[in-house]
Structure 1
Amino acid sequence: MRREAFAFARDFEPAPPSELCVGRHYLLCASRGALRLEAHGTSWVLPPARAALIAAGEPIQVSIPQPVTTSSVLFVPGFTPDPPAPLTVFDLTPLARGLVTECAEWPEAEGLLPPYARSIFGALAAVTWRLAERPSPVAVPAGRSPELRGALALTAERLGEDLAFEEVAHHVGLAPRSLARRFEEECQMTWRATLRRMRVLRAVEELAAGEDSVTTIAHRVGYTSLSAFNAAFRDLTGRTPTDYRATFRP
Structure 2
Amino acid sequence: MTRKAYSFVRTFAPEPDRDLRVDRHYLLCASAGVLRLEAQGQAWLLPPARAALIEAGRPVRVSIPRQVTTASVLFDPDFAPVPPAPLTVFDLSPLARALVSECGAWGESDEPLTAYGETLFAALAAVTWRLADQPSPVVVPAGRSPELRRALRLTQERLGEEVRFEDLAAEVGVVPRTLARRFEAETGMTWRAVLRRMRVLRAIEELAAGDTAVTTIAFTIGYTSLSAFNAAFRELTGRTPTEYRASFRP
TM-score (normalizing by structure 1): 0.99
**Which residue is 1:91 aligned to?**
91
Equivalents in 1 of 2:65, 2:191: separation in Å? 23
Equivalents in 2 of 1:217, 1:13: separation in Å? 23
In the alignment, does 2:209 pair up with 1:226?
Answer: no
Equivalents in 2 of 1:32, 1:111: separation in Å? 30
Map residues 100-115 of structure 1 onto 2, 5 A cutoff.
100-115=100-115
**Which residue is 1:31 aligned to?**
31
Equivalents in 1 of 2:140, 2:230: separation in Å? 19
**Which residue is 2:51 aligned to?**
51
**Which residue is 1:189 aligned to?**
189
Equivalents in 2 of 1:13, 1:141: separation in Å? 26
Equivalents in 1 of 2:219, 2:64: separation in Å? 23
Map residues 83-162 of structure 1 onto 2, 5 A cutoff.
83-162=83-162
Deviating above 6 A after TM superposition, structure 1's stretches of 4 or more consecutive aligned residues are none
**Which residue is 1:21 aligned to?**
21
> Aligned partner of 2:203: which letter?
A
**Which residue is 2:217 aligned to?**
217
Equivalents in 2 of 1:221, 1:35: separation in Å? 19
Equivalents in 2 of 1:171, 1:210: separation in Å? 34
Equivalents in 2 of 1:173, 1:25: separation in Å? 41
Stretches of structure 2 lacking an aligned partner (at least 5 in a row)? none
**Over residues 57-102 of structure 1, what are the superposed CA-to-partner deviations in whole Å (9 max), with x where a residue is unaligned?**
0000000011110000000001011101100000000000000000
Q: CA deviation at 1:192?
A: 0.5
Question: How high is the sequence identity, in percent, across the aligned residues?
Answer: 69
Equivalents in 2 of 1:175, 1:65: separation in Å? 32
Equivalents in 1 of 2:192, 2:103: separation in Å? 43
> Aligned partner of 1:244: which letter?
Y
Equivalents in 1 of 2:64, 2:224: separation in Å? 27
**Which residue is 2:71 aligned to?**
71
Q: CA deviation at 1:112?
A: 1.0
Give the CA RMSD over aligned residues.
0.5
**Over residues 190-249 of structure 1, what are the superposed CA-to-partner deviations in whole Å (9 max), with x where a residue is unaligned?**
101100000000101110111101011111111010000000000000000000000000
In the alignment, does 2:247 pair up with 1:247?
Answer: yes
Q: CA deviation at 1:111?
A: 1.9
- SS of aligned partner of 1:184: helix
> Aligned partner of 1:190: which letter?
T
> Aligned partner of 2:32: which letter?
R
**Which residue is 1:4 aligned to?**
4
> Aligned partner of 1:161: which letter?
E
TM-score (normalizing by structure 2): 0.99
Stretches of structure 1 lacking an aligned partner (at least 5 in a row)? none
> Aligned partner of 2:5: which letter?
A
Equivalents in 2 of 1:190, 1:81: separation in Å? 36
Q: CA deviation at 1:48?
A: 0.4
Equivalents in 1 of 2:159, 2:237: separation in Å? 19
